[in-house]
Each structure stands twice: as C-alpha cells, then as structure tokens.
Amino acid sequence: MRTRLFVVAAAVIAAVLLWLLAAVVGFDLRPPAMGDAPNQPLDLFGVVFITLVAALAGWVTLAMLEALTGRGRAIWTGLAIVVLLASLAAPLSGHGVSAADRVWLAVMHFAVAAVLVPGLLAHRPTRQPLWGRNPPAWRRTPRTERLLRTVSAGDVRNRSEIPR
C-alpha cells in the first residue's frame, strides 16, 4: 500500500512541476472553454486536486480488479490507456486557448499517466483474490472441484500431481 501511495504522490508532484515550469516559461495555462463559458486560469489547487482524484481513482480501480479477477492488472492497463486517450479530449477540444496551451496540457496528461501506469503496476499484491483458495460457487468448474478435493485431502506433493 505504501508503494502505491508514493506513486500517487509522485504523479501529483509531476503535474505540479510541469505546472510550475509552465509558469516560469511564461505560459498562462488555461483549459479550453466549452460552450459559451469563458475559460478560467488553471491554478495550483486545480492541478493538485484533479491529479489526486484521477490517481486515487486509478488505484482503487486497480485494487478492485486485482481482488475480483486474476487478470485485473491486464484489464486495468487497457482501461488506463482508454482513460488517458479520453482525457485528452479536454485539452484538445473547446476554444479560447492557444495551441501551446493545448500541447502543454496534453503533456501534463501524458506525464501523470507515465508515472501512474507503470508505478501502480510495479507493486504486486501479496494477498490472493477475495475468494482465496476456495472460489465461490459461481466460479467453480468440474476441474476446480477436482483440484479442491485433491488439495484439501493433502494428496498433492508437487504440481505434476494436480489432476487435469
């Protein structure tokens, strides 16, 4: 858990550093306006809040998928890529901002994803899925029933003895 917490913090720090660099270079970062609303400047609180919410949502989603399925990490990776691409719709659409603002905001999205995706995947959970060694009835197949009977009886000394 601590590793993933550090990854979330690193993602926030990456976004803040890019925001600070934009301020030093002279960009007045503004997200594009939608509809008739005027665009507002992107302040530090907004950067921290949005990045923190996105990072925590990614962490919770990954933890849930790991707990519910054995392929949670693969599913989450695909989902993270889809969410990244969908998040690019915000800086690339709308009106009232320069092309440099759009590119800088897109770079911020990619930087946060570059920290979050490999960082959250680097930590391997130590616990098994929610059902552990005894899957729920809806997950049982004839093969898993034979395996559970064999393992619970203590008849397995090595992997080659597991019934197929």
Is residue 62 within 8 Å of 120, Cβ to Cβ? yes
pLDDT value for 142: 72
Helix ranges (DSSP H) in the chain: 2-25, 44-68, 72-87, 89-92, 99-122, 142-153
Question: Contact 11/108 with Cβ under 8 angstroms?
Answer: no
pTM: 0.72
Structural tokens at position 50: 């949005």
Per-residue pLDDT of the chain (164 residues; tens, 9 = 90+): 688 999 999 999 999 999 999 999 988 888 888 777 777 888 999 999 999 999 999 999 999 998 888 788 999 999 999 999 999 988 888 777 888 888 999 999 999 999 999 999 987 765 555 555 555 665 666 776 676 666 665 555 555 555 55
Rounded CA-CA distance 106/111 in Å is 9
pLDDT value, residue 90: 83
Domain-wise residue ranges, the chain: 2-128, 131-164
Q: What is the pLDDT of residue 20?
A: 94
